[in-house]
Amino acid sequence: MNNTNPDNPLSLQSQLTRLLASLGSDDAASVKGVFGAWTNLVGAAVAAHVQPVKLVDSTLIVEVDDPHWATEMKFLEASLCEKISQLTTTPVTSLEVRVKRR
């Protein structure tokens, strides 16, 4: 339903949440919590090699620049999911790690 009534405008966050849902991602608050705080969550050393790509349901998809980091992320998965879940409205229970193609 498209609400274009100027007396009842949609908030930017609700429009962003609808857009993200149409793309298969989570709500705006969760995405902001993960993407906006990524370096603080994982530290600068990890953030230099690992980037969040998409949050789908309870799975965070991350992209790493080297297979070594894929292994490292599996070791960090439980603690990272716990940290992320504290910042978001959706609990994150798993990571899907993808190695960036060169």
- pLDDT, position 93: 93
pTM for the model stands at 0.67
Q: pLDDT per residue over 15-72, tens digit each?
A: 545 655 554 544 555 555 577 788 888 899 999 999 999 888 889 999 999 999 999 9
The amino acid present at 70, given as its one-letter code, is A
Q: Which residues contact 28 (CB under 8 A, 6 or more apart)?
A: 13, 16, 17, 20
29 vs 73, which has greater pLDDT? 73
Q: Which domains does the chain have, with CATH numbers?
A: 12-99 (3.30.300)
**Count of beta carbons in the 10 Å neighbourhood of residue 5:** 8
Q: What is the pLDDT of residue 20?
A: 52
